Amino acid sequence: MRQMDNMDQATDDWTARFPGLARLERRIRDHLLDRSHVTDLPEGSVIFGPGKSPENMLFLLDGAIRVQQVSETGREIVLYRIHAGESCVLTTACLLAYDDYSAEGIAETPVRAAAVPRDVFDELVASSPTFRTFVFAAFSKRITDLFLVIDEVAFQRIDIRLAQKLIELSGGRNRLETTHQRLSVELGTAREVVSRQLQEFQRRGWIAQTRGTIRFLDRTALERLGED
Amino acid sequence: MRQMDNMDQATDDWTARFPGLARLERRIRDHLLDRSHVTDLPEGSVIFGPGKSPENMLFLLDGAIRVQQVSETGREIVLYRIHAGESCVLTTACLLAYDDYSAEGIAETPVRAAAVPRDVFDELVASSPTFRTFVFAAFSKRITDLFLVIDEVAFQRIDIRLAQKLIELSGGRNRLETTHQRLSVELGTAREVVSRQLQEFQRRGWIAQTRGTIRFLDRTALERLGED
DNA sequence: TCGACGGATGTGACTTTGTCACCGACATGG
DNA sequence: CCATGTCGGTGACAAAGTCACATCCGTCGA
């Protein structure tokens, strides 16, 4: 499930890449670096999921992890992503063996992360105020993000959400390589709904579509729609 | 906003009411009891909300707090409840001053709670493994609960969700005093939708309605529907 | 006692979203 | 070349949300 690569940790202070850990006490930081492993995971790795609890808490150095949920009905929805500079707090939730929730974390790109064993995590929370702040801030951010997801799923129109998601996923580029199916999972809706909305965007001259890619012809129009 | 009642803390060990705190180290427990206040809040008190961060973390001794969110569009949805024996971890999220999220916590009944100041909370997390476990378990539970809410809002049929909610809110009694409006907020849907579903339940002989109350005529049928 | 008022509920017409059962188009590998 | 699997299109329908009302009922002053 996972491959571990030990690195020369003395020369690679990965904590510097985490804003919240920049001011970590020197002694603490050294302990953390000493007791953690930097790990590389290929794209598509399942970091955690039903029946797969990780033993370590991850601090993402590069890449992104997508956390999504599969409903009993088979439909899926993307809950959030963890990007470089963020930690995988859900792992701790998982570590605590809370009953089998259906969420899973998947490496969306090749991922490099620092793996911190559970006991080390606990020691750090106990001994470092800075680390505590970091951890609670991470939890808070997740929870408020989930509030936002709930708000959008419950109350936002699908055309608006789709426009927002297209802009978000494009990351500034003017084309997006994805399928209607994948977009429907992002929004927790049905593929046909996405297809129809994209047809409408195309009819309005905002995008052009070919199999597997969407080109933006009028990004501003999409952004306007996405602003409510 | 809040009224504080000091009690004879030496004789009232409220930590005993929290399963997760039962094994708290004696020294820690005394510190917690010494530095916290037991507080009474009237029904309807706003515990936290947009612009109202609490200074304390609450441990609920009696009553219930309802946490809900108001969307920009004015529609509302109940996110979760905090019952006696649980703590208000969201408060810590709030304490960390994460940007103004729109969620608010309201006392659904008269509430008695132990208020733990922020610095005491931090000390306890630092010094007690038991307390740490308690806090992280609380966070985990909230997050997994929110996953469930997302799943239901996104993928579950409204009749099934309504049946489940009626059973849940009735708490074993065979009548429920609430309005269609309130039920619609519970589910994050429109009042008309609730009215129509309730009419359908009534037509099937499962419930009887009068202004402000619902009587259960065939609770089993509702439970069956609620099981998918 | 009357009537105004506000909250609670009922209703119909309509739009949006989700579901289902298909279809053909395209890419890939034998 | 065909078989297969993924991708996207389509129409008919069902479920859910929206809007604009119409009642209904209890309460509170006048």
Q: What is the pLDDT of residue B7?
A: 47
- Distance (Å, whole) CA A139 – CA A106: 19
Mean pLDDT of A202-227: 96
> Among candidates A165, A152, A172, A149, which has minimal Cα distance to A197?
A165
Provide Rg for chain B, Cα atoms. Answer: 20
The backbone torsions φ and ψ at residue B227, rounded to the nearest 5 degrees and listed phi first, read -85, 25
Structure tokens that stand for B45 in this block: 């008190």
Structure tokens that stand for A215 in this block: 């080109």
> Pick the residue with more confidence: B96 or A74?
A74
Q: What is the pLDDT of residue B100?
A: 62
Give yes or no for a contact between B160 and B151, defined as CB atoms under 8 angstroms apart: no
Please name the member of B69, B90, B99 whose beta carbon is closest to the beta carbon of A151. B69
Hey, is the C-beta of A96 within 8 angstroms of any chain B C-beta? yes
Q: What is the pLDDT of residue B1?
A: 40
Structure tokens that stand for B16 in this block: 């005993």
Give yes or no for a contact between B1 and B46, defined as CB atoms under 8 angstroms apart: yes
- Are the Cβ atoms of B141 and A79 closer than 8 angstroms? no
Give yes or no for a contact between A38 and A7, defined as CB atoms under 8 angstroms apart: yes
Is pTM beyond 0.85? Reply is: yes
Q: What is the pLDDT of residue B228?
A: 79
In sequence order, the 6+-apart residues with CB closer than 8 A to the CB of B164 are B226
Helix, strand and coil in chain B, % to nearest 5:
45, 25, 30
Band (pLDDT 50/70/90 cuts) for residue B98 is low
In sequence order, the 6+-apart residues with CB closer than 8 A to the CB of B74 are none
- DSSP class of residue A83 equals E
Half-sphere exposure of B9 (CA within 13 A, CB side): 17
- Are the Cβ atoms of A71 and B125 closer than 8 angstroms? no
Hey, is the C-beta of A57 within 8 angstroms of any chain B C-beta? no
For chain B, give the percent of residues with pLDDT over 90.
Answer: 73
Hey, is the C-beta of B157 within 8 angstroms of any chain A C-beta? no
In sequence order, the 6+-apart residues with CB closer than 8 A to the CB of A166 are A176, A183, A207, A214, A216, A222
Please provide the average confidence, as pLDDT, over all residues in chain A.
89
**The sheet that has A56-62: what strands, in order across it?**
A37-41, A111-117, A56-62
Q: What is the pLDDT of residue A218?
A: 97
